[in-house]
Amino acid sequence: MGISPEGMKLVLTGVIVSFLGFLLGTWVKWLGISVFSIGALFTLFSAYFFRDPERDRVFAPGEIASPADGTVLSVKTEGDPDTVVVRIFLSVFNVHIQRSPIDGKIEDVSYTKGKFAIAYKPEAAENERNRIKILGEQGLFAEVEQITGAIARRIACYVQEGQEVKAGEKIGMIYFGSQVALHLPTSVKMLVKPGNNVQAGETIIGIIGREVKIPGQDESFKIQKEVY
């Protein structure tokens, strides 16, 4: 279990405040205890919120990983009939690091200014957000939207256009309660529904048909379409 780079700065700040409170307590005990307590609580909260648990699950071809920890709000098409959108709400108690849902190449990263509605409300779709488009093999695509909430107003993106990523690899982080939307082709068989709890880089959120090479009698391989 580690702490994200963004969190380390806040943890260090809390430690410094606690230390100053300890020193202050040698002159004014009650004030020192108060400052120390505030610093200690801030340190513990920052360490917990910005925790970065180790997740090393290897996903098989065709498996799509959840991009975020949280609770599934909805699984439906929104405007584009060929795209299904999975919306995941992240409470302050969830890990806030986002991970790539598929193996692929970052095709585009775009940031959009917007509102700061409560993250679990439908209008949060118009909030300030960062969209990461990933292009996988055989035309598979996945778009991860990092969406701010009423409190969360800072988004960190760890990837850039042209970068190769693996399913489960860290791609960004949102501060405090927020929402993540995953856009996928409607050909994907979804394995989650509203109310389900998911974990980034651990939960299989959907599956697709995949091509599997089966040894034949000659030097070539027969390609078989596998349907889940």
Q: Would the pLDDT of 212 be above 60?
A: no
Residue 10 pLDDT class (50, 70, 90 cuts): confident
Confidence band for 209, pLDDT divided at 50, 70 and 90: low
Mark whether 178 is an active-site residue: yes
- pLDDT, residue 176, reads 73
Q: Is the pLDDT of residue 228 over 70?
A: no
- Whole-number pLDDT of residue 125: 73
Query: Could you tell me if 97 and 173 are in contact, meaning their C-beta atoms sit under 8 angstroms apart?
Result: yes
Query: What global pTM score does this model have?
Result: 0.81
What are the strands of the beta sheet with 164-165, ordered from one edge? 164-165, 104-112, 129-135, 141-147, 178-185, 83-90, 70-77, 197-198
Q: What is the pLDDT of residue 152?
A: 60
Residue 68 has what pLDDT?
A: 96
How far is residue 74's CA from residue 68's CA, in Å, rounded to a whole number?
14
Strands (E), the chain: 2-3, 51-52, 63-65, 70-77, 83-90, 97-99, 104-112, 129-135, 141-147, 155-157, 164-165, 170-174, 178-185, 189-190, 197-198, 204-207, 210-215, 221-226
pLDDT at res. 226:
35
Q: Which of 18, 46, 100, 178 is catalytic?
A: 178
The residue among 44 and 126 whose pLDDT is bigger is: 44
From the candidate CATH numbers 3.30.70.3420, 2.70.70.10, 3.40.50.1820, 3.40.80.10, the one assigned to the domain spanning 63-212: 2.70.70.10
Point out which residues pair with 219 in neighbouring strands.
none
Element containing residue 20 per DSSP (H, E): helix 5-24
User: Is the pLDDT score of 199 beyond 90?
Assistant: yes
Distances from the Cα of 201 to the Cαs of 88, 119, 193, in angstroms? Answer: 14, 22, 18
Most confident range, picked from 3-7, 122-126, 209-213: 3-7
Over residues 49-87, the pLDDT tens digits come to 888 899 989 999 889 999 999 999 999 999 899 999 999
Place of tokens 């349907």: 227
Cβ distance 225 to 208 under 8 Å? Answer: no
